[in-house]
Amino acid sequence: MTRLDLTTPAAARHFFESKLRQRQVNKVLHSFPSPRFWKGGTGTPLDGRPPGSDAPSCELYVALPFCLTTEPAHCGYCLFPTEAYSNQDQLDVYLDFLAREGELYRERWTELQPRSIFIGGGTPNLLKAHQYPRLLSLIHDLLPALPAATPVTLEGIPQLFSREKLEVMQAHGVTRVSMGAQQLDHQLSLLSGRKQQPKHVFQAVEWAAELGLGCNVDLIFGWPQQTLTHLERDLRDLMASGVEHITHYELNVGGATDFALNRREELPGPELVREMYLLARELLTAGSYEQLTPYDFQKKQSQEAGFIYEECRRTFDAHDVWGWGYAAISDFPDHHSPDHHSPDDSPEQIGQNGGSTFMNARTLTAYYAALDAGHLPTEVGYTRTPADLRLSLLFRNLQSLSVDRASYRANFGRDVLEDFPGIWQAAAELGFVTIQDAAIRLTPEGAYRVPLIQTALMQGRVEELTEAHFASMKRPALIQSQPTPPVPLPVAPS
Ligand SMILES: C[S@@+](CC[C@H](N)C(=O)[O-])C[C@H]1O[C@@H](n2cnc3c(N)ncnc32)[C@H](O)[C@@H]1O
Ligand code: SF4
């Protein structure tokens, strides 16, 4: 296999330019490598983060798998693992199993103080009002050291955020809700088979504000049949609602989804999608929203805890994620932060091990079977090399719209410009970044091109991993690793 060499600015520039007119594959990558390289039999989060080795900060992600069925399936575009909702009993059974998984962490979590908790899915607001006290008490019972002010977000679809549910959620410790609207134009929304109407979105935003709950609304741009006029109207209406936080994702088209298979011709072209991004950014920032990540915009002077989005991404310091529930992902970066190594350490001594990441079972049958057998339901995992860790943290850091050079140096023992020099230089020449003493900063164009910059940064390592993967497939069956089923493309909790 011929390797692509992006070490010179000319080669990197050629690489970027060859992709500029193609639709971006926008997987919103926060870590490296993608789960397609993860394998079974790599242990569990308890091996990934043994007692006493905790990172200075962590987050907890709690997953609920169920979604209302739609026609077309999976809302026409969604690549997340989900399970079809049929009745309330399913939710009770799932909460029983979630409790059983939690028990396996009880000892380990006694002291845990996540900076934030995100209850995501799937559609967690499918729970009935009487089921939230149970879900929240499961969390509080396992995390007795949790400070009362910890932000707890619960996500769902607009039409299921009834006032009654919002009141119960708030009474039991939810501080913020996040709802996927995707499109406010009813005709465009119907292409996904979702039944929500714009009034559901605005009503839920209003109730959340009345109850003092933080609120985020997800929109997607690059949607079939969408025009700049649709985009502008949606954003203006949403800003007028006063919602605190707007997440504006580029549509990721892929897999066996209806949009990928049957609506490709209706998708706006790459140049129009880019215009949509830049127009949205302009409207939002002019409309008193501040840009936090390539896709997140927060109302200035909002009460929302900005750190959820910023602090965890701004530096390269270690930050754990504990994933609990069906298909949840845990992540334990392992490197010597400035607190842990001496200034005399060589780059080789810093970051010998990149840590590990794990994903829980992506079918309910496998999730329940593992817990019935008394195991943690981990399905696949990956042990990072130091190079993987650097990429992983660089991807997270890019979400903060700049790469902090001092933090990179403190954690990895060298300047970030020494790694990938051709790519940074070419990115600067093309106007994606400006290189300053303190940081490499993304321009608005660069923020849009983050997926492309990530593709260039990971190119060499992906080639190595792909070669290793094919080499392992050629080995005799007996020593082959467990096959890995197709995996979703993660989108960040918003
Ligand atoms: C996985 S959903 C969970 C929340 C809830 N079920 C919903 O649909 O609103 C979280 C967010 O992921 C985003 N998302 C899902 N599939 C996507 C795709 N193919 N491209 C871009 N964003 C996507 C949507 O904006 C969605 O609101
Ligand atoms: S977009 Fe939301 S509701 Fe639709 S399938 Fe994905 S997770 Fe479920």
Give me ligand 2 centre to Cα 192, in Å.
10
The type of residue at 235 is L
Q: Is residue 148 part of a domain?
A: yes
Q: Is residue 178 part of a domain?
A: yes
Q: Is residue 115 part of a domain?
A: yes
> How many angstroms separate the CA atoms of 326 and 96, rounded?
13
For 30, half-sphere exposure in the C-beta direction (CA atoms, 13 angstrom radius) is 23
Model confidence, pTM: 0.92
Q: Which domain holds residue 150?
A: 45-308
Minimum-distance ligand 2 atom for the alpha carbon of 79 = 6
- Do 466 and 2 touch, CB atoms closer than 8 A? no
Task: Name the maximum alpha-carbon separation found in the chain.
Answer: 63
Question: How do the pLDDT tens digits run along the chain, 494 residues long?
Answer: 678 889 999 999 999 999 999 988 877 677 899 999 999 998 999 998 888 888 889 999 999 999 999 999 999 999 999 999 999 999 999 999 999 999 999 999 999 999 999 999 999 999 999 999 999 999 999 999 999 999 999 999 999 999 999 999 999 999 999 999 999 999 999 999 999 999 999 999 999 999 999 999 999 999 999 999 999 999 999 999 999 999 999 999 999 999 999 999 999 999 999 999 999 999 999 999 999 999 999 999 776 554 455 555 667 778 899 999 999 999 998 865 444 445 555 544 544 578 999 999 999 999 999 999 999 999 999 999 888 999 998 998 899 999 999 989 988 889 999 999 999 999 999 999 999 999 999 999 999 999 999 999 999 999 999 998 888 777 655 444 444 444 444 455 66
* Closest to 147 in 3D by CA, of 120, 112, 119: 112
Quick one: tokens of 410? 């403190």
Substitution site in 28, 68, 69, 80 for ligand 2 pocket (most atoms within 8 Å of beta carbon)? 80
* Closest to 355 in 3D by CA, of 328, 316, 326: 316
Question: Which protein residue has the closest C-alpha to ligand 1 atom 13?
Answer: 491
- 185: Cα separation from own chain's centroid: 26
Distances (CA, A) of 477 to 214, 471, 472, 480, 481: 52, 12, 9, 5, 8
Quick one: tokens of 59? 């987050």
* Closest to 78 in 3D by CA, of 214, 252, 244: 252
Question: Which protein residue has the closest C-alpha to ligand 1 atom 11?
Answer: 180
Beta-carbon neighbour count of residue 179 at 10 Å? 27
User: Which residue is listed with tokens 């493309």?
Assistant: 489
> How many angstroms separate the CA atoms of 411 and 335, rounded?
7
Quick one: tokens of 308? 């959820």
- Do 443 and 272 touch, CB atoms closer than 8 A? no
Distances (CA, A) of 184 to 72, 179, 423: 19, 12, 38
Q: Is residue 409 part of a domain?
A: no
Substitution site in 64, 157, 182, 362 for ligand 2 pocket (most atoms within 8 Å of beta carbon)? 157
Q: Is residue 422 part of a domain?
A: no
Q: Is residue 10 part of a domain?
A: no
> How many angstroms separate the CA atoms of 378 and 360, rounded?
4
Distances (CA, A) of 213 to 131, 174, 181, 334, 347: 19, 8, 18, 35, 46
- Supply the pLDDT for residue 351: 45
Strands 439-442 and 402-404: antiparallel
Substitution site in 220, 251, 259 for ligand 1 pocket (most atoms within 8 Å of beta carbon)? 220
Backbone angles phi, psi at 179, to 5 degrees: -125, 140
* Closest to 249 in 3D by CA, of 293, 192, 311: 293
Strands 402-404 and 116-121: unpaired
Question: Domain of 194: which CATH number?
Answer: 3.20.20.70
Q: Is residue 278 part of a domain?
A: yes
> How many angstroms separate the CA atoms of 314 and 138, rounded?
31
Q: Is residue 177 part of a domain?
A: yes
Cis geometry, peptide bond prior to residue 33 (ω within 30 degrees of 0): yes
- Ordered alpha helix ranges (H), 212-332: 228-240, 258-262, 270-286, 311-314
74 pocket-lining for ligand 2 (C-beta < 6 Å): yes
Quick one: tokens of 146? 């949790």
- Counting the structural domains of the chain, the total is 1
- Ordered alpha helix ranges (H), 40-87: 45-48
Axis-axis angle for helices 405-412, 386-398 (nearest 10)? 160
156 pocket-lining for ligand 2 (C-beta < 6 Å): no
Element housing 419 (H / E): none
3-state secondary structure 150-200: CCEEEEECHHHCCHHHHHHHHHCCCCEEEEEEECCCHHHHHCCCCCCCHHH
pLDDT in tens, 324-352: 999 999 999 886 544 444 555 554 454 45
